[in-house]
Structure 1
Amino acid sequence: MPSPTTTVFVHSGWRCSSTYVWHRFRALAGVRAYYEPWHEQLARVSAETLRAETPDNSGLRHPGGTEPYLKEFEVALDPAGGLRNFDPSFALDRFWIEPEASDLAQQAYLEGLVEAARTRGETPIFACCRTLGRAGWLRRRFGGFHVMLVRDPVQQWLSFYSLRRRPRPTYFELCHYVLLSEMAGGDDLSHALLGHRFDGAGTLEERLAAVRGKLKRAPASVSFQAFLAVWLRSYLKALPEADLVVDVDRLARDQAYAREVEAAIQAGCGLKPDFSDCRAPAPHGIVPPVQWRKAAREVVDLMDLHEAIVGPQAPPILFRKLAPAFAAVTPAPVGPIMKLGEALGGLIGGEAVTRAPAKAYAATAARTDGSRR
């Protein structure tokens, strides 16, 4: 069994149960579980503010009670403010960094957090919603054990939407606009989906303000398509780096699967978090008027991802998560098999569906998402 001092990375998108998984790692003895270590707010934290925000007062429906999210960072506080070696540009500026690229500043920051844990005899855990695009870079620099969390994309986006306090995009939606507009080679895609071009100039705060100014009244379908484009590109880049892929929807409803995931984590890094209390949130009741299949098909066509989703080298989890998700929100007058076919037909085109053999799909669906590569 690997040494429990192995660095562990938990990668996910926003609203993808990463806080729950981090919370369960945090409950283990001998770990230092850093929460959102790429969040731009870390540039402003102090000994006082470090303990101010808790799951109970955040309004984000997170587990964890009154324990401050950021208490683990107390070992890295800079007397001048913020964290040692942290720069707010780390948050999204280098989200899409290539595995072989150099970023000595970001590397020094993470090395400091790893060292702070190890000098105390603790296992460093990094759980963050801003690492899918840089998972390969992290593996090359830090090795470790990499867990990828994947959620039903429609419910994930609806979780963003449900947090709107008025008809304006949430922070999570704005971040996806920024990530889409700054995706390498994605200028035409960004313009096609958003109707605007953004130059990526300025601080993250300024770039968030720029997309907010242009897209604050954009239809919900624009937000969903931007999210789906980033979701697809992020996971296609991250999944090859995974030691373990976890379907968080299944984790919440299948106790046998939860035990398999616990065992796989223990085999991979020597730690065994307890997921027995994992529960699935109820489906979001407020669903905006988005034509899901049409919106998704446009994104897949624009990104030319048919083969990446259903081809022989496609990550099985993408096929599984996309197909049932769209079937579940698309009315159909017939049984579940036809519903699935209709959803896939809308998602990737009828011809592509006919090329996906039924036996191959059945074999794919039978695979356990929690199995190690």
Structure 2
Amino acid sequence: MREKRAPIFVHSLFRSGSTFLFDRFRQLEYDYWCYQEPLHEIAVVAKDNPEQLFVDMGAEKVELLRHPPLSRPYFEELFKAWPIWKDSISSPIIYDAYFSSSDGEIGVRYWEALSTAAPEEKRPLFQECRTACRIGAIKSQMGGYHIYLWRNPWDQWWSYKADSYFDTVNQIIVNSKDAPESLKGLVSSMNLPRYKGGELFEAFEFYRKRPLTSEQSYLAFYFLWLMAMREGQLYADNVISIDRLSDSKEFKFEVRRRLEEAGLKSPDFSSCHIPQGYYAEKEREWFSNLEAQVHQALLNDRWTSNELQKILTIRHESQPISWAVSVSDRSPADMAEQVSRARTVARGQENLRSHLAAKINDTEERLTSAESRALEAEARLNKADKAITQLMAKAAESEMAIKVIVNSRSWRITAPLRALNRGLSEAKVHAREFNRAPSWAKVPAMPKVRSLLRHVMLYVQRRPRLKRFTLKMINRFPRLKNRLINIGKENSTFKASSYQRVPYELDSLTPRGRHIYQNLVVAISKNRKRD
């Protein structure tokens, strides 16, 4: 990559005045092609539909974030460079690679694609808020000129409260896969929630629903603040304090001089003004106690006292001038601005509470409705159980009644009649088939009917009581009786003589018994004749 086209990077954490610096460079439109936070999850969403870059980026968003007014949309250059970058952006390079070394995939292919898309006569500039802990890795692979922009941590952390997005992102960063061991230990000691999936937008939703306490929020932020400061001191070509850029004309001149010495056209920083708070002793103590915990965690993880002290010294030397001014000596305009910022945060918290209350009420209503439906379902289930119990009882009663009937004497007595009824029904069927059948098929049909009748007659003959009852009934129908006698004659088991009346005392004997009896009578008669 030619030096003229070597990229410029402005690295920072969120809420450090980076939008102001981006806008200053963008005003030099003949010299720079400026990308505002291209390494952003919105680029992943918009890679197949670049119109998404303009969603939720209007005047209301600018006012909420207290950004300087911009002449063009945030992502206009990224939109114009589409689609050259669409296949080189991915979720992992945004946050998973936050602490990556130069050996890993850190987004170089994406920035190179964007550099290619910049007009030939302009130098690409990337203003990034998600690269502060990989400055050295980017520089080793891409070269270029690197600026690190920073702000005093107390004001910067309070500025995070403008939107819950910033704390959510910090949770994603501190849980990234390449986080240093000291950070992992701090996260573990704070019992912070950890998303174990791999989908970036699910991670956003997971952490958004699990906001941090103030102490947890500042501990995580201050750790990242120190890590980024060290990275900037080690690898950036120009380290800029936005507080000093606001307070000191000399520092404005110094920054411009550094840029020009590097062969860059310097923007005008005269309008730089970053809001600066005033902190009472109790607030200072709160911050200091939490910072001491982070200092110890870093010293336990191979940080030296000298490198930590160097950062703290730079911080002290660059602290806002207003902190040295008593409250009574501060300008009314400055105090009014602090009150306005506090009111803005309060309104934001009130809106958040209102939103949460609405969601809670909606959830409670849905729970109430669900409970009502559950009670109705339970009532229907109980009613169904009761009906099933009643049906089972009725079924048991019916089964018992059937058993009583089947086991009754009358059922056993009428069994032949039922058999005869079934036989007659089958005979009717055979008769209909016989009438419809051709003449050559009618001969075999009648033997089936006769055979059935002979079986019925044999069954009746073997049961004396049933036989008496049947004969009594058949005697009423002489023609039927004669036909049955004729059929019975064809079978030796049923002779006409069987229908002759027998003495009453022999009536209860079976046919076999009467046959034996008749043989005895014949034998006795022969003996008498012999005598």
Q: Give the Å deviation of 1:208.
A: 2.7
- Between 1:22-31 and 1:177-186, the stretch displaced more is 177-186
d(CA) in 2 for partners of 1:307, 1:320: 21
State whether residues 134 and 238 of structure 1, in contact with CA within 8 Å, keep that contact through their aligned partners in structure 2. no
Which residue in the other structure is 1:234 paired with? 228
> Could you report, residue by residue, the CA deviation over 1:251-275 in whole angstroms, capped at 9, with x for unpaired residues?
0111121011012112124221111
> Could you report, residue by residue, the CA deviation over 1:106-134 in whole angstroms, capped at 9, with x for unpaired residues?
322111111111x5321000111101111
- Between 1:261-270 and 1:288-297, the stretch displaced more is 288-297
Which residue in the other structure is 2:522 paired with? none
Please say if 1:63 is aligned against 2:65. Answer: no
Match of 2:257 among 256, 263, 280: 263
Q: Give the Å deviation of 1:206.
A: 2.0
> Secondary structure of 1:133's match?
coil
- Structure with the largest fraction of helix: 2
Unaligned segments of structure 1, at least 5 residues: 165-169, 333-373
State whether residues 41 and 88 of structure 1, in contact with CA within 8 Å, keep that contact through their aligned partners in structure 2. no
State whether residues 247 and 321 of structure 2, in contact with CA within 8 Å, keep that contact through their aligned partners in structure 1. no
Q: Quick one: structure 1 residues 74 and 223, their matched pair in 2 at CA, closer, same or farther if it must change by over 3 Å? A: same
Which residue in the other structure is 2:6 paired with? 6
Q: Give the Å deviation of 1:138.
A: 0.7
> Secondary structure of 1:132's match?
coil
Q: Give the Å deviation of 1:70.
A: 0.6
Please say if 1:72 is aligned against 2:77. Answer: yes
Which residue in the other structure is 2:192 paired with? 196
Q: Give the Å deviation of 1:65.
A: 3.0
Q: Quick one: structure 1 residues 252 and 144, their matched pair in 2 at CA, closer, same or farther if it must change by over 3 Å? A: same
Q: Give the Å deviation of 1:55.
A: 6.6
Q: Give the Å deviation of 1:78.
A: 2.8
Q: Quick one: structure 1 residues 286 and 206, their matched pair in 2 at CA, closer, same or farther if it must change by over 3 Å? A: farther
Which residue in the other structure is 2:240 paired with? 246
Please say if 1:120 is aligned against 2:123. Answer: no
Q: TM-score, normalised by structure 1?
A: 0.75
How many correspondences in the alignment?
315
d(CA) in 1 for partners of 2:248, 2:124: 28
> Could you report, residue by residue, the CA deviation over 1:234-257 in whole angstroms, capped at 9, with x for unpaired residues?
322342111111011000111121
d(CA) in 2 for partners of 1:54, 1:287: 38
Unaligned segments of structure 2, at least 5 residues: 327-531
Larger radius of gyration between Structure 1 and Structure 2: 2
d(CA) in 2 for partners of 1:329, 1:298: 24
Please say if 1:303 is aligned against 2:293. Answer: no
Which residue in the other structure is 2:100 paired with? 97
> Could you report, residue by residue, the CA deviation over 1:220-243 in whole angstroms, capped at 9, with x for unpaired residues?
111111101111123223421111
Which residue in the other structure is 1:18 paired with? 18
Q: Quick one: structure 1 residues 200 and 138, their matched pair in 2 at CA, closer, same or farther if it must change by over 3 Å? A: farther
Question: Percent of aligned positions with the same letter in both sequences?
Answer: 24
Q: Quick one: structure 1 residues 325 and 173, their matched pair in 2 at CA, closer, same or farther if it must change by over 3 Å? A: farther
Q: TM-score, normalised by structure 2?
A: 0.54
d(CA) in 2 for partners of 1:277, 1:327: 17
Which residue in the other structure is 1:48 paired with? 51
State whether residues 150 and 241 of structure 2, in contact with CA within 8 Å, keep that contact through their aligned partners in structure 1. yes
Which residue in the other structure is 1:352 paired with? none
Which residue in the other structure is 1:219 paired with? 213
d(CA) in 2 for partners of 1:178, 1:326: 30
Q: Quick one: structure 1 residues 269 and 205, their matched pair in 2 at CA, closer, same or farther if it must change by over 3 Å? A: farther
State whether residues 7 and 123 of structure 1, in contact with CA within 8 Å, keep that contact through their aligned partners in structure 2. yes
Which residue in the other structure is 1:159 paired with? 159
RMSD, aligned CA = 3.3
> Secondary structure of 2:39's match?
coil
Q: Give the Å deviation of 1:18.
A: 0.7
Please say if 1:292 is aligned against 2:297. Answer: no
**What does 1:312-351 correspond to in 2, within 5 Å?**
313=307, 316-321=310-315
